Amino acid sequence: MVAYRRNFVAGGTYFFTVTLRDRRSPLLVERIEDLRAAYHRVRCERPFTTDAIVVLPDHLHCIWTLPPGDADYAGRWKAIKARFTSACRRAGVALTRDDAGAYDLWQRRYWEHTIRDERDFEGQVNYIQYNPVKHGHADTPGGWPHSSFHRYVRNGLLPPNWAVAPELDVPE
């Protein structure tokens, strides 16, 4: 078994990919309000800043900045996953169990990357904003509702037509 090494930087900024066990499941967008509630509750209990986020049917990407002196993103992810799983159970979503008897909704691990500098941050934000297009869920970043892209546009950080190919001027 691989020994995973996490980079814990107090007050750090991190990029995450968190995935459902069943990569064909649309549960994250079907139960988006439950996911938002779980995420919001954990963020209220254990604050962090969401710098960018996109939720797709089977996985999500986000960038978090933790408060100074705090490096416990793992505890936050554990709590978000548990709250979302509980909400799905209460809603009657059929969930399987693994060999140990735990609900088998999420992949056990997640991918984490410590943001090194402003260029790294910008590249990861761009990846997040374009991800719905990459996966064929939308024609443009603005066409996907579950993304911080809309906040970036509202705040003047990105134009509404960001990453949209301009119309070709084809002579007749």
Interval 119-154: pLDDT, tens: 999 999 999 999 999 999 999 999 999 999 999 999
What is the reported pTM? 0.90
| pLDDT number for residue 170 | 41
List the chain domain ranges.
Answer: 13-117
Mean of all residue pLDDT scores within the chain: 92
Share of the chain above pLDDT 90, in %: 81
CATH class of the structural domain 13-117: alpha beta
Q: For residue 43, give the nearest of 14, 80, 83 by alpha carbon.
A: 80
CA dist 31 and 116 (Å) reads 33
Q: DSSP strand E in 22-160: where?
A: 49-55, 59-65, 111-114
Question: Residue 109: beta bridge partners?
Answer: none
